[in-house]
Structures are given as C-alpha cells and as structure tokens.
Amino acid sequence: MVSKICGIGAGYVGGCTLSVIAYHCPKIQVTVVDISENVIDQWNSDILPIYEPGLEDIVKAVRGKNLFFSTDIDKAIDEAELIFISVDTPTKKYGIGQGRAPNMANLEAAARKVANVSRSPKVVVEKSTVPIKASETIASILNSAARANGWNRSSDGDAKSSGLQRSVVLSNPEFLAEGTAVENLMHPDRILIGGDEASDCGRLAIEMLRSIYLHWVDAGRILVMSTWSSELSKLAANAFLAQRISSINAISAICEKTGADIRDVARAIGSDSRIGPHFLKASLGFGGSCFRKDILNLVYISECLNLNEVASYWYSVLQMNEFQHSRFCRQIISKFNNTLTGKRIAIFGFSFKADTHDTRESQAILVCNSLLEERAIVAIYDPKALPHQIRTDLLSLQHADVVDKQVVVCSTALEAVKGAYAIVICTEWEEFKHMDYNKFFTSMKKPPRVFDGRVLLNHEDLMRIGFEVESIGVDMSKIVLNGH
C-alpha cells in the first residue's frame, strides 16, 4: 500500500523513528531529509549525530538499502505517498503566549514545503508535539495549495496507487524516552493514530499508516481515535509523567525534614498495584526537551479555554520542579558556609538523563550556573555529553569570561575530582555507582563531600571511606554505620 516514505526532520524523533520503520519494512523506501547538510552528513557517517543504545546497529543494517538520508527535500516529498513531519516546536519566546505556547513556525514551514512541492495527495503524519487542532492548520495549508496548483490524483502514478482524493493529516505522536528510544520503538506500549474515520480518505490514510506499524506491532496495540484526542494524549502523557516526578520530589523534601527515607517511601508507594513503581525516583528534578515544554503548552491551552484552575494545577508541577533543584543548590552552597569562591566542585553528569548525550533543559546546567554565580570552579565529567555543547549551554546563562575561567570539562572522573572539595551527582549514569571512590577520596580536599542529586550511590560505603554525604530525600544524620 505504501512504497515510499519521506521523513522531514533528521533530529532525535525523526532519525530514530524512520530508522526503525526502515528496519522493519524492507520493501518500503524510507528517506529522511533535513535542511542541515551537516546533520545529514553525520547520519551518513560512522558517527551518528545522536547517541542512543542500539540505534547505530539498526542504521548500519539498512542504510543504503532502503534507508536514505538526504538534503534533497523536494525529491523525497514528491516521490513519497506518506510524509512524517518531525520538527522542533519550541516554546514561544515572544508575543501572545510567550513562555507557554508552542512556536509552530517550523511545523508550518514543513507543511508549506509539502504543499508547494507535492503534485499529488499525500498522507502527512504529525510526529512533532503540537497543540490541539494543529492538524486543521496543516490540512488547510495542503488543500489550499492543491486547489491553487490545480493538480489532482490522476496526474501522478503514486497518487493513483494510493487512491487518495485529497491530502490527509494524521496525528501519530511519539512516546520515546531518551536512552531507551530504540526499545520503545521496537516494543511500543501503544501506537496512537489520530484521524477522521468518518470520511473515505480519512479511513484510507489511517489504514496506510496502520499497515506500516503492523509489520512489527500487534494490532491490539494500535489505537485509532480522533486527531484531537491523539494530539491531547501526547501532552497529557508527558504531563502525567512529570507530575509523578514532582510528586515524589515533594515527598522527598518531607523525608529530609523528618528522618524518613525516600527510597523506602518510594518502594512502599510503588508496591501498590494502583500506582506502580515507575517514575518514583526522587532527584534534583526532571529535564529534557519535552516535559517542561509540553506542560507549558497544556497550561496555555487551559488558559485559552478559561480553565484557570486547571492551568494552575499543571503549572504547579513545574513550580515543584524548580523548587527541587533550587533547594538542592542551596544545600550545596550552605554546606560551604555560603563561601565557594575558588573552590573546585566536581560535577558528575551533564546530560539530562543517563544513556543519552542530550543536555537540553538538564538540571546540571542550573546546578553549574548556581555554583558559577558563587564563583566556584566547576569541573564537569559526563560519559556522552559533548564538550562544545556543555560550553554552549553554560554560555546561555553566563558571560564567556566566567565560563572560560571557571569551567573545566574533563575527560575522566578522576580528572574532575582532583583537588575538588565536593562531588555533585547530577545524572544517574550507571558507571558512577561503580567507580573507585577510595581513589577519589585521596585526590580531593578534606573533608571531601558528596551531594547525591539522584539518590544513586551507596551512602553508607561513602561515609565509611570518609566522605560527608548529602542526598535528596534522606536525612543523613539518621544514618548509623555498622561498627560505629
């Protein structure tokens, strides 16, 4: 039913999703296009532009066979029956909706490109996270251009084979978690397809997209609904996940004041089958490109609908996240009697979560910024975050001279801790649990401190070595060491 697919946007979502589709659909030609020649060159090289476990093997298995990366956007659009749009929709920074509404410029530009290039009806699939009813805007652009250009389906062989009488827009949101994206794509909990089941064209378009996923996804996991329901489901899913993180973080603050242990509380809560254990890991807060952006989008939608109480409710999730990282930073600073000038602090982890190089909205950025404001020297080690990206992120908050003088990006953890007064755990990389902290102890200023922002390490072992330890969700004064 579908022989050629075009994916507009070779970023995280587009690159991962289309690579997995090509892997499972060897008879379908999949072309991923982007305006960035550099990004496309990286996808065609041995070093991919993103790090994701398992992705490299998949790309190498199908690249050059039925998976292609190109900057020839017009050709890929013209030849495809089905087009995925996976472009960034960042939070708007100006005008009405500033700081809340999504900026739809990239999505609209992609839709107009499809409209201007197409010579036959297309199935256009929203992969980007969009506000409710964005599909109507895209459909209007496509069909207005079709009328203006005067083409119909009989002018193109692909259109004849597809049977579409007009272009159709479907919602097919992604539910990828960075670090496990390939696993999420290979074994999805569900696939949402939002479209118009009341029209012949809508049903045909839905079946075209559904037929692709049926190559490897059980039919029962493919959920078909209205476009609006699908669009809202994506925002709601991310809001619910972020809400769980903020909820457990709120409880962690109570634990620190009462002597309760957040690890015990999380285990008790998660053992309830009605709640479950996922996203109950206390930390210095959530990051990444999605949660904050999508909640702000939900807040804006609620405000536009005059649902102010709903808007306030969801905004409180973000406020709790800000409270969590702020109090963590205050805890670090207060332990040094508010005097950090010239003191070297080792930062373990800069990506927003483990198993990704992505630093967008990382809590480590905010921790480093707070320490830089106190004139500390920050020595950063992360297994995957790129040094130039670390510098770029910090330059967004600090002057270049501050970054030049007070920031050191290290290639090893041992380099970072040498002469440091403290280690701050900002990302839950597994390797941090298995490092030689005895060796770190001898390299650090005394008394050395560890601030565990991910409740990751064995605090008792660290204390036996001689570290002073502070952790999210744990009152360390209540820890009693065996034999002490």
**What is the domain-level CATH number for residue 47?**
3.40.50.720
Does 248 map to a domain?
no
Indicate the number of domains in the chain.
1
CA-CA distances (angstroms) from residue 328 to 145, 171, 321, 420?
53, 39, 11, 19
Binding-site residues for NAD(+): 9-14, 34, 87-91, 128-129, 178, 290-293, 360
Does 445 map to a domain?
no
Does 357 map to a domain?
no
Please give the mean pLDDT across all residues of the chain.
94
Does 274 map to a domain?
no
Q: d(Cα 388, Cα 359) in Å, to the nearest integer?
A: 11
Does 104 map to a domain?
yes
Q: What is the pLDDT of residue 159?
A: 43
- pLDDT digits over 147-181, tens only? 776 655 444 444 445 667 789 999 999 999 999 99
Q: What is the pLDDT of residue 359?
A: 96
Do 318 and 292 meet the contact criterion of CB atoms below 8 Å apart? yes
- pLDDT digits over 6-34, tens only? 999 999 999 999 999 999 999 999 999 99
Helices (H) and strands (E) counted in the chain, each on its own, are 19, 14
Banded model confidence at residue 483, pLDDT cuts 50, 70, 90:
low
Does 344 map to a domain?
no
Q: What is the pLDDT of residue 164?
A: 75
Which active-site residues does the annotation give? 290
Binding-site residues: 9-14, 34, 87-91, 128-129, 174-178, 234-238, 274, 281-287, 290-293, 352-353, 360, 454
Does 55 map to a domain?
yes
- pLDDT digits over 174-208, tens only? 999 999 999 999 999 999 999 999 999 999 999 99
Give percent of the chain with pLDDT exceeding 90.
86
Does 83 map to a domain?
yes
Q: The domain containing residue 127 runs over which residues? A: 4-148+161-217
Binding-site residues for substrate: 174-178, 234-238, 274, 281-287, 352-353, 454
Q: What is the DSSP annotation of 382-417? A: -SSS-HHHHHHHHHTTS-HHHHHHHEEE-SSHHHHH
Inform me whether the pLDDT recorded for 427 exceeds 50. yes
